[in-house]
Structure 1
Amino acid sequence: MALTFAQKERIVAEVAEVAQTAHSAVGAEYRGLTVEAMTKLRVEARKAGVYVRVVKNTLAKRALAGTDFACMDEALTGPLVLAFGQSDPGSVGRVAESFAKEHKEFQVRMIAVGGQLLDGSELSKLAKMPTYDEAISQLMAVMKAPVQKLASTLNEVPSKLARTLSAVRDAKEAA
């Protein structure tokens, strides 16, 4: 059954709204996947905070116009499922990578991050991006390291003096 104009408008508005708040997007070919496999993808994606939708390419082009994902326009050909990472940039990569390992028919064709279009082969790099909490903890570790080194260096001087005095005392007692 063909979509009515109102349904098409709703789809474009929904995808555009998601694209405005998304951090990254993946476009993958789903030809040959079963309904059960697509349902499994949607369930995994929902758990990870990823929006997944099969959209006609013409509607997707309209929805993505004026967003960071407008760079995907030229690559929107063939049957594609679009996935948008809502929580962090790497979430969509992790979901797509794990699903692609299980289902060979699922072929990632394009990735968009920060207004740049990347090839599907860059998926592992996107999947390895840290989550927000991991990035904050890494930043804190980097910020803490110089202070910790300074404290241990300052603490080393009195410790070294105490060890030297202890060695001198032991030498006098032995003599």
Structure 2
Amino acid sequence: MTREEKSKVIENLTAQLTDSPIIYLADISGLNALQSSNLRRACFKAGVKIAVVKNTLLEKAMESSDKDFGALPETLKGNTSIMTSDTGNAPAKVIKEFRKKSEKPLLKGAYIEEAVYVGDDQLENLVNIKSKEEVIGDIIGLLQSPAKNVISALKSGGTTIAGLVKTLQERG
């Protein structure tokens, strides 16, 4: 690979790192062609992009990026694949599901919305991270709860003010 090709790859990786709020690093070495194909298919279905990268080029891209990757560059040893997604736990779920049939991929680390996770032991924590949509749904549910209580109080008290006051007094 020439210097120009390397610099182009680093430039592309830097852009990918900058654009992606969710970045996972995994080791998929040892997977045969069929397993690799199945992993790529599972990633595609989950909306996860996966690519095998050279450690030195990825490290240079991390240095060029404006993000703070903490200890992630230290995990760049051996085979490294980069997984990117718009959903924080999607790559973790793909890895966990795939490991039911295989020992790999191993999680090296992850960068999720400025938080850095290092090590395969973090996989369970990452699987349990809620997506933005799930958090919004939880907040909406919490906000709707008091409104539902008031509406049910109004309905149960009937149409009289005395009934309403009595119902609110009982609930208070």
Q: What band does the TM-score fall into relative to the shorter chain? A: 0.7 to 0.9
Match of 1:116 in 2: 115
Letter in 2 for 1:107: L
1:36 to 15, 34, 37: 34
Alpha carbons 1:52, 1:84 under 8 Å: kept: yes
Match of 1:6 in 2: 4
Bigger CA radius of gyration: 1
1:69 Cα deviation from its structure 2 partner: 5.7
Distance of 2:91 and 2:13 partners within structure 1: 15
Distance of 1:19 and 1:139 partners within structure 2: 30
Match of 2:87 in 1: 88
Looking at secondary structure, tell me which structure has more helix per residue: 1
Distance of 2:73 and 2:6 partners within structure 1: 18
Letter in 2 for 1:42: R
1:21 Cα deviation from its structure 2 partner: 1.8
Figure out how many residues of one structure are paired with residues of the other and give that number: 159
Letter in 2 for 1:126: L
TM-score (norm: length of structure 1): 0.78
Distance of 1:101 and 1:68 partners within structure 2: 33
Match of 1:19 in 2: 17
Alpha carbons 1:20, 1:67 under 8 Å: kept: yes
**Structure 2: segments with no counterpart, 5+ residues:** 164-172
Provide, for residues 115-157 of structure 1, a one-character-per-residue CA deviation record: whole Å limited to 9, x for no partner: 3321322222222333443333222111111111122123333
Distance of 1:24 and 1:81 partners within structure 2: 14
Letter in 1 for 2:101: E
Q: Percent identity?
A: 20
Distance of 1:68 and 1:97 partners within structure 2: 27
Q: Which runs of 4+ in 1 moved over 4 A?
A: none
Alpha carbons 2:27, 2:79 under 8 Å: kept: yes
Residue 59 (structure 1) aligned with residue 30 (structure 2): no
Distance of 1:12 and 1:54 partners within structure 2: 13
Provide, for residues 70-128 of structure 1, a one-character-per-residue CA deviation record: whole Å limited to 9, x for no partner: 3211221121212112x221222222222222221321122222333213222222223
1:124-163 → structure 2 map (5 Å cutoff): 124-158=124-158, 161=163
